[in-house]
Chain A
Amino acid sequence: MKDLEFFRNVSVGQYLESDSPVHHLTPATKFFAITMFFFALFANTGVAGTLLLGLLVALAALAARVNPLSLLRSVIPALPFLGFIALLTLVFQQAKEESSVLVTLGPWQLHSAALLAIALLFLRFTAVVMGIGLLTSVTSEREIAHGVEDSLRPLGRLGFPAHEFALIIAIALRFVPIVAGELEGIVRAQASRGGDFGSSGINPLRKARAYLPLFVPLVIRTLERAEILIEAMEARCWVGAGRTRYATYKKARGEDLIRAGIVLFTIADMAFGLTFGRRLP
């Protein structure tokens, strides 16, 4: 018997209140950290560099008193999708000169490069999910919005609507648990009427049709909730431009050092990855 509980696997938007040093960093620093993290991750530093990044996230999670394993949980729903891509990689792998053939089965050969690509796929995806999961566990939605706003403020002088952009992000994040909650209610209602959403064969049309009882009300309810929120905001004089901000952030002691450390680590990770890790063929 399965629990119809959707929040379990949604770690994005699940901010955990805590008094840890990581929580006390200003949102701008947290944003700087995640930006550099992505930079290092996509600079193609191979298995070793990615592993090192993952280790860093795990250590940061421990410092933030967040269980690294609970961050990993969010990977589970994506496993079938990742497995599918891995399968495609195996079927359509291309022979590269420098990669060695590990297994030969008739016309099909398993190249070491394909295995490496699959390993990197899983590693990178896991690192991304952990990084984002950690950011959202130590940064409340409002801090994320304020962090984006503070980080983008320099662009504001060039006419970029940093404040509006920040609010869009804040509201999008606020809607993650709202949509999950609505979906939970609708699934309960339909399951109670005998709806069965797990097993209607592999015919994609039929499968899609089986999900209509969830999809239609979910879209309608989400739009309704959005309209309620917009009305509530407009009723409180929201117009976008000309706002002031009540919240301010003071940098914690040594925060500039931390930022410098992040830059150094990023460089070190890339150097390490490029030297010791095997680059993607």
Chain B
Amino acid sequence: MSLIEFRELSFSWPGSGRPAVDSLSLDIGEGEYLAIVGPNGSGKSSILRLMTGLRVPDSGSVRVAGLDASNPDNWRNIRSSLALVFQSPLDQVVSTVVEEDVAFGPENLGLGRSEIGRRVDEALEVVGLSEERRSPPHFLSAGQQQRLAVAGALAMRPRCIAFDEATAMLDPPSRLSILALMDRLNAEGVTIIHVTHDMTEAVRAHRIIRLESGKIAFDGGPGRFLEALDGGPGFPPAARGARKAGLAPIPGEDSRGLAARMVAAGSMPGASMQAISTSTPAGLGWSPDPAFALEAAGYAYLSGTGMERRAISAVSYSQPRGSLLAIVGHTGSGKSTVLQLLNALSRPSEGRVLGFGEDPAAPGTDLRRFRMRAPLAIQRPESALFEQYAGDDVAFGPRNQGLSGEALVARVRSAMERVGLSFDDFRDRRSRALSGGERRRLALAGVLALAPEGLLLDEPTQALDPEGRELVLKLLLELVEAGSTLAFSTHSMEEAALADLVAILRKGELVAFGPPDELFGNSYQAEWGVGRPFAFELASELAKLEAS
């Protein structure tokens, strides 16, 4: 008997016209390692909620270990055998002490204190947080917080753990620690369901299901999945590399494995190696008339209170006009702070910030004008949409600049067209009813409508599906092509490699700054802790093989 059975399951979110899950049938067996992929809004999250009874289907049925998930009497049994780990680490923390948070599930099951203690010890041991058991969760790193969420799930002694995009907000090392945990738990017999937008992560699973509009569009092993994906959006860089070398992609293969195969097959890289030459473009270092510059800038949050926390110290760099800068580093390394300083949303505690030659802290600077000259799109900028209709929200900025009438409409139109939302089709659509990817692009149109000279973006591709991610990246490249200066933060080194310049932050300090070819090539240092793009990994493995 399978652990989870979906039969002709249909479900619509209240107020949405179309079904999120559309007569879906599926069997998930005990001990499986399953990845679920699909665009934003394809029904991935919905089916996780349906199988735990957090939502009840409109028609059809879900059974977990033979129990009907829409019957409230079964919820306790189902939820203790089928645990969920959500996307945002801190949003699922209930207590303010690590061990008590892990105890929350067992407490709800009404277990005795000594039994809870045993389970807490065991769960913390598995995720490697025993040392932090007395700490408040918000003092942990994002990766540790997510491991805490896994411990909270494990303390229920579940047969299955479902991860709902649980790696989407993590930096590369934290991601790897969660993925390794999934592999290990599965090896110990726990069924793993991993909902993800990252195809490299998906092909670690033994079975992959792709959902489209609430229906199953693909169900099969990782090998067949890669064939079906066929180089489309999100195609894993490793598979892309293999194809380039004329080899068949092997799911889960790392750079070392591929390098060895390439040497064995005598397929020498040629093109890919040239891309990784270490020539340094001219004009680096201190450009004479930079778009953005930080001069020994430092910043501390809550300075002067008992909770002062240093965000960045003595960061200096300058970004030439017309260039694209990627800012990378661990969660908490200071990426967002740098962007906020550049937009004059915070004032540096020490040092100086320059935007297009202007110092926002200088007396007499018109801050509103300064900010609108190179606005910041915050993380998840769609959370700040406020107008009922899409077009009105985009108009907020240009209205603040004093535009009205024809000029305003023209500005809004061009901004919306730029992000691929047709003005005539979308201006009167309700902003809240748009899909996740559309809302992100609408929010970006809201800053583009200021016709800015520069643009600052804090993790603009976070939590987007591969198609949405490609659209946003294409937009950034087009804007730079058209002469704008852009700086964006990201956890993806593949994205960073697209930029002209990369700034690497570590614990609030700038540890490297330069073109990606140089930083990820010869100058690369593992202790930066950011990892590097696959192509560079591969080149270095090939170089090692050639040398030996």
Residues of A near any B CB (own CB < 8 A): 1, 3-5, 7-8, 14-17, 66-67, 70, 73, 137, 140-142, 174, 182, 185-186, 188-196, 212-217, 220-221, 225, 228-229, 231-239, 242-248
Contact = CB atoms under 8 A, between A and B. Distances in A.
Nearest to A245: B107
B375 A193 contact: yes
Nearest to B99: A246
Nearest to B456: A192
A67 B304 CA distance: 11
A229 B92 contact: yes
A212 B386 CA distance: 7
A217 B432 CA distance: 10
B108 A236 contact: yes
B49 A194 contact: no
Interface string B77-113: 0011001101010011011110110011111111111
B52 interface: yes
Contacts of A246: 99-100, 103, 106-107, 113, 116-117, 120
A229 B116 CA distance: 22
B382 to A, nearest CB: 9
A193 B446 contact: yes
B355 interface: no
Contact of B91 (A212, A229, A243): A229
Given A191-B345, A194-B397, A245-B107, A237 B76 contact: yes
Contact of B152 (A73, A189, A215, A236): A236
Nearest to B52: A235
Interface size class of B (residues with CB under 8 A): 35 or more
Contact of B96 (A1, A7, A15): A15
A67 B120 CA distance: 36
Nearest to B380: A185
Given A189-B384, A237-B80, A195 B400 contact: yes
A71 to B, nearest CB: 10
B450 interface: yes
B360 interface: yes
Contacts of B99: 246
Given A194-B368, A216-B386, A217-B386, A235 B400 contact: no
A244 B113 contact: yes
Given A237-B156, A246-B100, A231 B49 contact: yes
A194 B366 CA distance: 11
A217 B385 contact: yes
B13 to A, nearest CB: 12
Given A140-B96, A194-B371, A217-B383, A189 B378 contact: yes
A244 B110 contact: yes
A212 B393 CA distance: 12
B229 to A, nearest CB: 31
Given A192-B345, A236-B94, A242-B108, 17 more contacts: A1-B344, A1-B365, A4-B345, A4-B346, A5-B302, A8-B305, A141-B96, A142-B100, A191-B371, A192-B372, A194-B450, A216-B386, A228-B92, A229-B91, A232-B86, A236-B79, A237-B109
Nearest to A247: B100
Contacts of A237: 75-76, 79-80, 105, 108-109, 156
B321 interface: no
B376 A196 contact: no
Contacts of A213: 384, 386, 396
A77 to B, nearest CB: 14
Contacts of A16: 306-307
B522 interface: no
Contacts of A5: 301-302, 346
B54 A235 contact: yes
B386 A1 contact: no
A7 B302 contact: yes
A228 B156 CA distance: 20
Contacts of A214: 386
B432 to A, nearest CB: 8
Interface in B97-149: 97, 99-100, 103-113, 116-117, 120, 136
Nearest to A190: B384
Contacts of A182: 383
B108 A239 contact: yes
B257 to A, nearest CB: 37
Contacts of A73: 305
B343 interface: yes
Contacts of B306: 14, 16, 66-67, 70, 137
B340 interface: yes
